[in-house]
Amino acid sequence: MSERTRPWTVSEAGSQAGRVAVVTGANTGIGLEIARQLATADATVVLACRDQGRADAARADILGSAPKANVYAVQVDMGSLDSIAACSRRLRENWPVIDLLINNAGVMAAAPTRTADGFESDFGTNFLGHFALTGHLLDRVRASPSGRVVTVSSITHRRRTATLDFEDPNGLRRFDPATAYARSKMASMTFMVELQRRLAATGERTLSVAAHPGGVRTHILRQQNRLIQLVYNPRLSWLTGWFTQSPADGARPILRAALDSSTRGGDFYGPAGRGELVGPPVLVEVSRRARDVEAGRRLWQLAEDMTGVRFLETHG
């Protein structure tokens, strides 16, 4: 078994003292568990969350198990470009170097809804919001000798219906919840790959990587139908544990993407078990469509036009 495909544990990464990690959507679910593990490993962790009160409660929760941890909470609505810009200014003022930017926050809308800027909620929050945040903070990540941008994705990006629609990127003409979510994750994965291409072209060591948590019992499914909510209800883990896992277990692939020293730019981690739904984190496959060079270029240009945030521009 190769170094890059064997199971991995967070303890292998060692102390993260002196490093700064920003985790979006860190007040609950896998985001909270990612933040908890990083804080326990002595990293300075910034919880970037939509609700300040819930972020403060998450901070208190982490400090309850790691009282000496350096944990901060900042407010950001990933569905608002103004909020993202304001949060980025606060982060830049306080941390000249950000070692890890973990783009975790996400939504899964049950009906067509729009962000503050008029984008379809899944596409606007899961992809465009993190594109903008990354653009605002990338120079801080590049200032780290081992900076990484970690995209939290999903196996749904491999679905046939996850094809990007450049004529109707918001997908509001014919909305389907599962398709909207899958397309937002395809956009995120395509962005991850294109970001790595552009970083590699600069000759720097900063990495763009991704991971997916598998079948995790979290609140992101709270707007879905009753059956899906029932399947992923934590109280039924005794029955569904063969294909669902806890947020702490779901956090492991993201932590490996963030911390494993053998990780390379463009790597994608997920659970090793049944259907990539459960199990220890290993390297898994990035969809061929997400690796398409022309799609990456077009999506980057589209995101710049929609958000007004421009970075790592290519010429010629």
- CA-to-CA separations, 168 to 106, 148, 175, 180, in angstroms, rounded: 21, 31, 11, 11
pLDDT given at position 229: 44
232 annotated active-site: no
Name all domains of the chain by residue range, CATH numbers in brackets.
10-307 (3.40.50.720)
**Structure tokens of 281?**
């984190």
Question: pLDDT of the chain along its 316 residues, tens only?
Answer: 565 667 788 889 999 999 999 999 999 999 999 999 999 999 999 999 999 999 999 999 999 989 999 999 999 999 999 999 999 999 999 999 999 999 999 988 888 899 999 999 999 999 999 999 999 999 999 999 999 999 999 998 888 888 898 988 887 778 888 899 999 999 999 999 999 999 999 998 999 999 999 877 555 444 444 444 444 445 444 344 434 688 899 999 999 999 999 999 999 999 987 778 888 999 999 999 999 999 999 999 999 999 999 999 876 5
Predicted TM-score (pTM) of the model is 0.91
Tokens 């950001």 belong to which residue?
76
What is the DSSP code string of 137-205? HHHHHHTSTT-EEEEE--GGGGSGGG---SSSTT--TT--HHHHHHHHHHHHHHHHHHHHHHHHHHT--
pLDDT given at position 240: 47
Strand runs labelled E in 40-130: 44-49, 70-75, 100-103
113 C-beta neighbours (distance < 10 Å), count: 16
H or E element at residue 207: strand 207-211
Among residues 161, 110, 152, the alpha carbon closest in space to that of 127 is found at 152
Considering 72, 181, 232, 269, which one is annotated as catalytic? 181
